[in-house]
Amino acid sequence: MSTAKQLPRWADLILLPLVGLAAALLLSAGIIALLGESPTQAMKLMVDGAFGSQDSIGYSLFYATNFIFTGLAVAVAFHAGLFNIGGEGQAYIGGLGSGLVCLWLGNWPFWAVLPIAIAGGAGFGAAWAFLPGWLQAKRGSHIVITTIMFNFIASALMTYLLVNVLIKPGQQSPETREFASGTWMPFAHEMLARVGLNFTSTPLNFAFVLAVLASIFVWLFIWRTRWGYALRVVGQSHDAAVYAGISPARITIMAMSLSGALAGCLGLNELMGSQHRVLIDFPGGAGFVGIAVALMGRNHPLGIFLAAVLFGALYQGGSQLTFDMPRINRDMVVVIQGLVILSCGALENMFRQPLTVLIGRRSVSPARKS
């Protein structure tokens, strides 16, 4: 394929992911039709289930909060040319960090606990990603493989800790005791009630605001600081980075640590905001949804926010769907998620080529008028 024509920037950033999403949804509709249900009816139910009431909006945004954190984590590593598929493990270990803080500082006031809990989650998550980053930078171990291995090691470690160490005495299920209520994230309905607004009781909580702040922080960091600049240079070209006096090894370690810190914040929403205890497998695949979210959102915080809301809506709408269509179960949402990763990520070039032919501009024709 010749590179004489190129996609304009807006098409690359907005049209291409939308076309990919449309293709994924069309395929999903085909699967739903094959299962003997009406795709249009299913779509209607899902949209209604995701945004139809205050209750569903609250749940959609609650799920979205998790995905913002894990999506940002994937994106930060991606800008440095690294593929972090360890978000799941980093979120798991990070949640342990926040959880321990909440268990220990139960009688502290919330606003004193919060910064320490954030530091705990981000710190533990960062530490779990630091190791693969360090191994990649200093020992040349492939980051994709090590982060996968670290997911399994995290899972084994957490099972051990929850079954043998942290379990609430006299209880069967491997989970800690409940956090003291003073350390719970304020719920959105409580906060809105304080300013006189009525909102149904949902798990949506203050962590959503933290996720938005994290998005802004990532934007500032990547595009407005010298570290972010160095990170992008390393992602574009190792040689250029070395030539510019940037150490790719240091940037790799930094990017992975920041990525892990972001994933580690998942516990702020899931544990401090909703479960109020540390329990087995609480990330529930959110680390992998982060890959889809980052791809869909073009690794830009604004795109990630929108994609996370979309996936939050898919999760909430999907659980609604299973109530009304017994032949379709929750796993359909996972199928859609996989299809989105496929069409927005792996098969991107399949859509890029025809789009470029249709609306591409010549990139090497400075003499051209208009």
Partner 1 sequence: METYTLIVLLLAATIRVATPLLLAALAGMFSERSGVIDLGLEGKMLGAAFAAAAVSATTGSAWLGLGAGVATATALSLLLGVACVTYRGNQVVAAMAVNIMVGGLGPTLAVAWFNLGGQTPQLDAAGQRFTAIVWPWASVARENPFPGLLYAELLSGHNLVVYFAALLVPATAWVLYRTRFGLRLRAVGENPLAVDTAGISVTALRYQAMLISGALCGVAGTYLSVAASSGFVRDMTAGKGYLALAALIFGKWRPYPTLAACVLFAFTDALAARLQGVSLPLVGIVPVQFILALPYLLTVLLLAGFVGRAIAPRAIGVPYSKEK
Using CB under 8 A as the criterion, what x/- string covers residues 261-290 for binding partner 1? Answer: ---------------------------x--
Cα gap 336→345, rounded to integer Å: 13
Cα gap 16→344, rounded to integer Å: 8
Q: Which two tokens stand for residue 321?
A: 């769907």
Least distance (Å) between residue 164 CB and partner 1:
7
- Largest Cα–Cα separation, the chain: 79
Least distance (Å) between residue 23 CB and partner 1:
13
Least distance (Å) between residue 302 CB and partner 1:
21
The answer to the question of residue 146 lying near partner 1 (CB under 8 A) is: yes
Matching residue, tokens 């040349």:
140
CA separation, residue 365 to residues 3, 10, 43, 315, 356 (Å): 12, 20, 45, 46, 16
Size of the site for partner 1 (CB under 8 A): 50
From the number of C-beta atoms within 10 Å of its C-beta (0-12, 13-18, 19+), residue 95 rates as buried
Using CB under 8 A as the criterion, what x/- string covers residues 106-135 for binding partner 1? Answer: -----------------------------x
Nearer to partner 1, 132 or 273 (CB): 132
The answer to the question of residue 43 lying near partner 1 (CB under 8 A) is: no
On whether the CB atoms of residues 283 and 88 are closer than 8 A, the answer is yes
Nearer to partner 1, 119 or 127 (CB): 127
How many residues in the chain? 370
φ/ψ (deg, to 5) at 167: -60, 140
Binding part of the chain for partner 1, among 43-51, 196-204, 268-276, 326-334 by CB under 8 A, reads 326-334
Of residues 349, 366, 369, 370, which one binds partner 1 by CB under 8 A?
349
Nearer to partner 1, 106 or 338 (CB): 338
On whether the CB atoms of residues 286 and 67 are closer than 8 A, the answer is yes
On whether the CB atoms of residues 70 and 289 are closer than 8 A, the answer is yes
Which residues of this chain interact with partner 1, rule CB under 8 A?
1-2, 31, 35-36, 83, 85, 135, 139-142, 144-146, 148-150, 152-153, 156-157, 159-160, 163-164, 288, 291-292, 295, 327-329, 331-339, 341-342, 345-350
